[in-house]
A and B are shown apart, each in its own frame.
Chain A
């Protein structure tokens, strides 16, 4: 049989179209159908395809000539994109029918580059050298813009952090990872226990109702970012609460963008006065599949710097072990990219009996497919299982280890006879007895928090024509938390000193959060003469459902682990639901690529708005000018390699809490029967709106060896939601009302200096300095109210007209010459809890494959109350600087609440967050078997320098205003410091 090979071009041709054509061809005559079987056809097609040229190349660092891994290489006007492998290589198939293509090569931290390649020259691999870009003018960002836009066009700042920077330091949670990395934001963990809440704030505190945590998006999907206690199941409001940030997926992150609240977040409308963090994950890799295995192990030691008694560390702490393992597989095929990663973390913590152990499992898949030249589909799924123990802390009532030891409560509680609360003065026998007591009290605690979190993002990008891009995105964040506290009779008997047989209890709190995000937007680009237009129009909807239940069993036998056999069972439920929907439009008009005007508007509806409130609008306007783009600049100001001047005005909001716009009746029950009472008073609430005016300049000097960004902002929050204390005579409960007006203003400076720069060596130093002035301009006649702390007669952090939010309020005692308190003035301003100066600094040294880096952050000008010290005075565990005249007066120590000013300390600090070193073996050293090998050493939290005797960060997160409420810290009380970690890591790329 004669076999004829047919070459037939089948590009863009479906099989059922091709087949009749083949049958009709002269070669088909006399052949049997078998002669046209797909075997041969397939071969023919394969041949054709194999002959289709590919674009191949390598992306290198212009300075070091080392390959850049993970750089994005895309073909203009198509949806096709690939990434570079560990050796910097990339490969893309040549688009059909094109004689030349425009490649865009970009990587965070480098200037993007566009390269035109002719088809005729496609067989020659292209080498692209990327220049480091510290100013980032041409970096493409998304956050706050709807769709991609170049930074040079923006009138506001966007901070981007790439994967290399993120992967350098092992970290257990996203906010810790970002600590000292966002130049204009401050991130403070309020405690050292797993799952602790954090205080994240940038441009001050714009709200007295909602905590300052930015909104967080992962691949465009809004995440649960609750960062203070929840109504049920989230820890105690006056102890350390549980944060949703602690379990945000953080595997395989490609980059993170951060924008401050204000004009930059206007397009997020009623949801973003605190700023936005957006996390983008990997959805593909290089054409050759890369397997990256990362293992980190190390030792954890307690941070004992701030303990009052020497012996506390012997009583409460022991060293622990940290382990973290990750596997990531990234690659791409013909038109698809895929990414998988899995991680496991196990930190034993530094408390006795592993009472703060944390285990975490992360799984993530990312997928990208070019369904057609003009259509791309992206999909990510992630799952996080976070499980941690948590021993008692803060003001949880009953026994708390730190309260018992550091606050001196051993004088008044525990076994008889009581201990001498001055632990360091105890004799060996007494100390041994105390150690045994504490050891048992710690052993008997049984508290556990388990979080399961699932998140997905699905998006389609469609380019019907080159100038138009449409994007549809949908995604879900589902988070389920279970907080279980088991108190056995044995524990109660031991800690109260009273025989208890019928009070064993299991307290379960569960919170299920379900958040849906839908977004549809489009962008149009047009160039008309010297003008360019980027116009974005879109709509976004998100809805959050937050259901919390508690189920409690009491009088339960020791050993039981669920409430099935409890003598009594009680339950409770809380439900919040809110929907926000809005449309936005923005246009960015450019003139000669150097002058840009930015105009935008968002209109929002929200289910939590009052009926009479209607649509809320958020406008913005901004100008960006790049004088260095002109030729005259280089001639007259050669010292300045780049410059940008920007200014903007914009409004962003925070929507009110759900259902507060309704006047309700509550049904608390009476002796088993239905009983009614006053519920919420019902107030037509509107969002609080923060109007920001800002101006700044970004400068690159000496070929960007010195990069400086300086700016000023002035933000007024109008209609601020204050929880106005009701007059008792009304019989009503306190209610949120839009009565406040808050000012935040400050300067923001950040600089990046490259002190040394050669092909093999670089030394870079960065420093950020931010000032902040915060003040409640008006309370609208509302009485002061507490956002953290306890009662008026003890200590509170308060919102009051004329003062900064969350200032410390307590009694001010005046002492006579004899050391006896003469007078006590209650409810006095005792200091602000908000620093007026804060920032971060870092150092980065590189010599060939070796790098050494460190970062730190600092604050100045804030104060906090040392409640542990105040307790020590009360319990006789120390004199705490109180004059002997007072102690020996007839009042004895009963006046301990009358001179709280004696227990206020300034909380300036510099904390070194990380010191690390790593060595990456070169490809020559590795040979052909490994793509990459990096060995790293990291010391986390190695050094603390503080003016306060307590840890200035470890302050109870509080939030007396309820779920998600504002907090500024400010009270140091029975809270653990974050431990030190000394970690060795090994990263292998196969």
Chain B
């Protein structure tokens, strides 16, 4: 074989000269990268980028699945609003892929890149560990089950979360900065919340409360990105793509640009913030019927955290909710009934033509101290806690999990991975979730100036609080 190849090459040389048989590879091979300088720094940057992209992907699609946003345009998912979630849906694949890419890039950094770069640091290792844990948390929160490694065994969310907790323990020990350690604690509180372990959740949430303005975000922008696609869908695009449920109108947009060029001002998305510690503790207290304590925790949440988050006055006059699929979004300041049986509430739908509007880039809520005072039963408190969670985590990709909805393992995984069983390929959509796009549905009586939301999903959640898919502390 070799001799023959040599004959060929010699013939080619006779024909033309040796340089004609050579090609210029414009790409950097993996070997060359690993043996080059600054590989750890560059790889960690790449993982950060992947984290931004993963969070962006999760946010875009889960917000559509939930009652938070409706896709009023033709781009992005046309069926998640139904919600219709099939294991063959390319967007399910995209979300799963985004999570695994974060997982595998973190893993490759830990096992291949950092050990071969003499300049790698403990901080870098800690960051990769935390990112890997975050990928597992997302996997557990969003999917019915997921492989924990390439073509690996499919693990239940509980297993994924416990693995993540171990990684966070290791990361916390390596981080030098206090806030980094607190973020690990907050993520662990989130893990134990999801596991329904109130004691552990409270323990780590309280640890995270050491900084009531604790905030960890993923970043976007610059010419090379990554881009905040969700910002594009709710503000920056020339078309008005995603529209919020009218009762959440006042929280939109969370991400926006105020510069001439979009990528000069792409807002970060929060992945861990102190508010969550309060919400976890309050929910644990409410579940334990410690209602007064829960009210107090929530009051602290409003005064010590939410009230101190930034508010920007924004010109949003281009927002006319004219994406195309629905033309009846209210554009003036009208009142909202949370469902047909509720009283109208003022101030939740903004008139964007009347002047600048307040925009909250981290947290905002309509819930007031008075409402907290009025909540005297467990159900009333749980209702407010889930309304708070919905409003505070608006546009952060958390609501779908609170609704008890989970994605299936993608068909592309099933076709390649023998560990995927049929039950893994079915989405989890609890029976109390309305279908046929009713999650985002409303009626608008323009003459009376009243919008009526079809379903108050927080009310429905509380009514089904014993359902296994939701309220981890109650089940």
Residues of chain A at the chain B interface (Cβ within 8 Å): 397-398, 409, 411-413, 416, 418, 492, 496-500, 502-503, 516, 518, 520, 539, 541, 543, 554-555, 567-568, 570, 575, 577-579, 581-583, 603-605, 607, 614-615, 658-659, 662-680, 682, 725-732, 783-784, 791-794, 826-827, 890-891, 894, 897
Contact = CB atoms under 8 A, between A and B. Distances in A.
Nearest to B319: A498
Given A518-B16, A520-B15, A614 B5 contact: yes
Given A671-B219, A674-B42, A726-B412, 11 more contacts: A416-B322, A498-B240, A541-B12, A568-B223, A665-B27, A670-B225, A670-B226, A678-B104, A678-B108, A726-B416, A783-B411
A665 B28 contact: yes
Interface of B: 1-2, 4-5, 7-9, 11-12, 14-16, 20-31, 33, 38-39, 42-43, 45-46, 48-50, 52, 74-75, 78-79, 82, 86, 88-91, 93, 96-97, 99-101, 103-105, 108, 146-147, 149-152, 219, 221-226, 238-240, 260-261, 263, 318, 320, 322-325, 327, 410-413, 415-417, 436-437
A891 B46 contact: no
Given A579-B22, A615-B8, A672 B325 contact: no
Contacts of B2: 614
Contacts of A670: 45-46, 48-49, 52, 224-226
15 contacts: A416-B327, A498-B318, A499-B318, A518-B16, A579-B20, A583-B7, A603-B4, A659-B26, A665-B33, A667-B46, A677-B101, A727-B413, A729-B146, A730-B151, A793-B89
Nearest to B437: A894
B64 to A, nearest CB: 13
B44 to A, nearest CB: 8
A676 B223 contact: no
Given A670-B48, A731-B101, A675 B42 contact: yes
A677 B12 contact: no
Contact of A555 (B45, B261, B320, B323): B261
Contacts of B45: 670, 673-676
A578 B23 CA distance: 7
Nearest to A501: B260
A199 B313 CA distance: 55
Nearest to B147: A729
A664 B14 CA distance: 33
A567 B223 CA distance: 12
Contacts of B104: 678, 729-732
Contacts of A543: 20-21, 23
Contacts of A555: 260-261
Please report whether the interface of chain A is mostly helix, strand, loop or mixed according to DSSP: loop
A398 B239 CA distance: 9
A871 to B, nearest CB: 9
A518 B16 CA distance: 8
Q: Which of A570, A672, A675 counts the most B-chain CB atoms under 10 A from its CB?
A: A675
B150 A663 contact: no
Contacts of A416: 322, 327
B327 A730 contact: no
Given A555-B260, A614-B5, A730-B150, A676 B416 contact: no
A490 to B, nearest CB: 12
B327 A676 contact: no
Contact of B105 (A398, A731, A792, A897): A731
Contacts of B101: 677-678, 731
A658 B413 CA distance: 27
A473 to B, nearest CB: 11
Contacts of A581: 8-9, 11-12, 15, 21
B89 A792 contact: yes
Counting from the closest, the 6 A-B pairs by CB-CB distance are A731-B104, A412-B324, A669-B224, A727-B416, A783-B415, A675-B45
Nearest to A792: B88
A555 B257 CA distance: 14
B257 to A, nearest CB: 10
Q: Which of A499, A670, A673 counts the most B-chain CB atoms under 10 A from its CB?
A: A670
Nearest to B43: A676
A801 to B, nearest CB: 11
Nearest to A677: B46
Given A675-B45, A678-B105, A729 B8 contact: no
A731 B100 contact: yes
Given A570-B223, A577-B24, A664-B27, A675 B88 contact: no
Given A498-B238, A827-B88, A615 B4 contact: yes
B152 A897 contact: no
Contacts of A583: 7-8, 11
B88 A729 contact: no
B96 A397 contact: no
Nearest to B226: A670
A928 B122 CA distance: 96
A667 B20 contact: no
A554 B23 CA distance: 35
Contacts of B5: 605, 614-615
A793 B260 contact: no
Contact of A659 (B25, B88, B240, B263): B25
B455 to A, nearest CB: 15
Given A677-B46, A677-B49, A728-B96, A658 B221 contact: no
A630 to B, nearest CB: 42
Nearest to A794: B78
A412 B322 CA distance: 8
A676 B413 contact: no
B145 to A, nearest CB: 12
Q: Which of B52, B79, B105, B437 counts the most A-chain CB atoms under 10 A from its CB?
A: B79
A664 B88 contact: no
Nearest to A415: B322
A575 B221 CA distance: 26
A668 B327 contact: no
Given A502-B260, A676-B43, A668 B25 contact: no
A677 B50 contact: yes
A678 B413 CA distance: 19
A552 to B, nearest CB: 10
Nearest to A724: B416
B207 to A, nearest CB: 30
A826 B90 CA distance: 13
Contacts of A577: 23-24
A793 B318 contact: no
Contacts of B99: 728
B77 to A, nearest CB: 8
A664 B151 contact: no
Contacts of B223: 568, 570, 672
B100 A664 contact: no
Contacts of B21: 541, 543, 579, 581, 605, 607
Given A543-B20, A826-B88, A891-B436, A728 B97 contact: yes
A985 to B, nearest CB: 44
B90 A679 contact: no
A567 B27 CA distance: 30
B204 to A, nearest CB: 28
Contacts of A731: 97, 100-101, 103-105, 150
Contacts of B39: 676
A303 to B, nearest CB: 27
Contacts of A658: 23
A659 B27 contact: yes
Nearest to A500: B238
Given A615-B1, A783-B416, A792-B411, A682 B50 contact: no
Contacts of B16: 518, 541
B175 to A, nearest CB: 20
Given A397-B75, A894-B437, A728 B260 contact: no
Contact of B9 (A605, A729, A784): A605
B218 to A, nearest CB: 11
A516 B21 CA distance: 11
Given A671-B221, A676-B39, A793 B79 contact: yes
